[in-house]
A and B are shown apart, each in its own frame.
Chain A
Amino acid sequence: MTLNRRRFLGTAAAGAALLSAPVALGKTRPRVVIVGGGAGGATAARYLAKDSKGAIEVVLIEPSRTYYTCFFSNLAIGGFQPMSRLAHSYGTLASEYGVTVVHDWASGVDREKKNVLLASGDSISYDRLVLSPGIDFVKGAIEGWDVTAQTKMPHAYKAGTQTQLLKAQIEAMPEGGTFAMVAPPNPYRCPPGPYERISMVAHVLKERNPTAKILILDPKEKFSKQGLFMQGWETHYSGMVEWLTDEFTGGVQRVDPNTMEIVMEDEIIKADVCNVIPAQQAGSIAQQAELTNEIGWCPIIPETLQSQMDENIHVLGDATQNGDMPKSAYSANSQAKVAAMAIRAALTGSRAFKPRFSNTCWSLISTDNGVKVGASYVATEEKIAKVDGFISQNGEDDALRKQTYEESIGWYEGMVSDMFG
């Protein structure tokens, strides 16, 4: 059944879509333009195309031909996954689902005319726009650091080249050297991400460079899965990891990428590798389109993921200020399906059901030692609200932790096939 449908969509892409329902009504198909081909955007594209059975024209704008998933990129740093495993293309979305994939940079939105402007100079009109632009770093968040410094002090918080660079730097660290992470303030993409990364760095250094030191300079007083990570570090990387909060250090005043110095209130730390993860906000197109609030995120209507500023625009994933859902690929994927359903209902009159959301974040602490945290959510009047949740426990046995890790690999495969087909 799925195969037949896929074939149909494949044909639709080749032109047979002219026969679809809206044409029979004497109208052209409604067009949904999606900006950003990550967990939110790619999922929305696939579900809109799949479930509308050709009744909606779906255009996906994404500059990268090869997309590296940010989720699981820490595992590449730890050597648990090859970089190649993170790479995905949009070929199947185009060939099997009839999605028009445009590799260009969306530089702006004309909300009045309902047009997306492209860096190439073209523009594409939409009936509904889906923005899934991910995050950008807040300019000037850390004095001395900007994107030109990212080669010397990588963020590796958008996957690909940056991931490889950070990995190479860690592997080339001098014996007994110092790895320092400047951790981000809330809210940011992937709450357990920085701490899973610390685990992966510790794993690599324990093997290659066991006298090395790992410092986390953290503006937060607590973090996601803290008990699990702390216990894991103590057990597996004893004495290697130090977590230093602002209360203790006075906070990072500035960094100097040339001297590799991190200037604290009354101390200067010299690092051999410095991973700076700055404060974040919604991807720049959301700022440009004036869909963000005073703290840089996009408020949405929980039921449909429509922007509170513009009913013709839906915002997904990390860029949203949605209430209780964390900024994760799983969340974006979950939100994308709800938005796709709402858009189909609005444009084609299809059935709409009560939205439901869920999220799970898996993290790897050491070899075969996976943990997870998750929750389910509903749309209320004012926010996407948590209804139930769970978290792995300290003291779980090896078999369960291994199972959790294997499950996370299974989840990755499930997630990318749900996004890219």
Chain B
Amino acid sequence: MRAAIPALMKQFAATLHVANCFSVSIGHLLLRKPSAGFVRGSVLGLVSLSFLSGADSVASAQDLKRGERLFNACIRCHDVGKDARNRIGPHLNNLFDRRAASIEGAKYSKAMKRAGADGLHWTLDTLNIYIENPKNLVSGTRMSYRGMRKEKDRSDLLAYLREFSVSPANIPEASASLLQQDAPSLHEEAYLEGDAEYGEYLSAECTSCHQSSGEDKGIPSITGWPQPDFVIALRAYKKEHRPHPVMQMIAKRLSEEEIAALAAYFKDLN
């Protein structure tokens, strides 16, 4: 295993720091089931062996140090390391390959539970997208965090977090720096002002499942959303960052103009 590390390191550096010239669909990664790794519940003891050792790391000590500092943004809600407990958010030991909303006793939003059941697993890819803006992946998440915009920050933070796994070197590397050129998130910039009348027509495809009354049993409500949230969500399905086949199919054939039109229509529907 050790012998493979320098090679992995190079690969990791390449994927993270070299400008990516291709975009990768990661739908299959999101749906991947956890590999036959550790058994949840028994891992905490093991974690203490590897945590802080940094021995298996593929990132530089400097990156890890930065990651640790960046984690300060998270510690009000998340614990990691020895004796980590669930706080406002779940503990982050053995986060990688964990299914979303799967820590017993942790409090999750309905939306996060739904995403977990849909097949969302935490990987370097999905965490990269999630940390960039949590609403990229889970519109109704309880995690009230604006997002970490700089890719280098995210990669260092994730390099730090991966140390708190039974075997950090076995965590599959990121497929590419997905967000660098093609951020699904909108940040502060304007989104297209949509044609609400067109949106009303297009909405007929949504209301076969989503109720216009806002009722959300079994299928989430999509009425009265802020427009940016709506746009982000549909873009994420379109790119297969979110793992729901019906929504992926519906979103794939929506243009930016159509997404904006739907957002404009649904924002006023209450």
Contact = CB atoms under 8 A, between A and B. Distances in A.
Interface of A: 1-2, 47, 51, 330, 333-334, 337, 341, 351, 353, 356, 358, 360, 372, 374-376, 387-390, 397, 399-400, 402-403, 406-411, 413-415, 417-418
A341 B201 contact: yes
A376 B202 CA distance: 14
A47 B217 contact: no
Contact of B215 (A1, A47, A400, A413): A413
Given A351-B197, A407-B218, A375 B210 contact: no
Contact of A2 (B118, B245, B250, B269): B269
Contact of B250 (A376, A407, A418): A376
B208 A358 contact: yes
Most B-side CB within 10 Å, residue of A376, A387, A403: A403
Contacts of A408: 218
A403 B117 contact: yes
B33 A337 contact: no
B208 A410 contact: no
Interface residues of B, number: 36
Nearest to A412: B218
Contact of B204 (A47, A402, A409): A47
Contacts of B253: 356, 376, 387-388
Interface string B200-218: 1110110111111101111
Contacts of B118: 400, 403
Dominant secondary structure at the A interface: helix
B207 A411 contact: no
A356 B117 CA distance: 29
Most A-side CB within 10 Å, residue of B119, B209, B212, B250: B209
Interface in B193-243: 197-198, 200-202, 204-205, 207-213, 215-219
A415 B210 CA distance: 8
Contact of A358 (B197, B198, B250, B270): B250
Contacts of B248: 390
A415 B207 CA distance: 8
B198 A353 contact: yes
Contacts of A406: 218
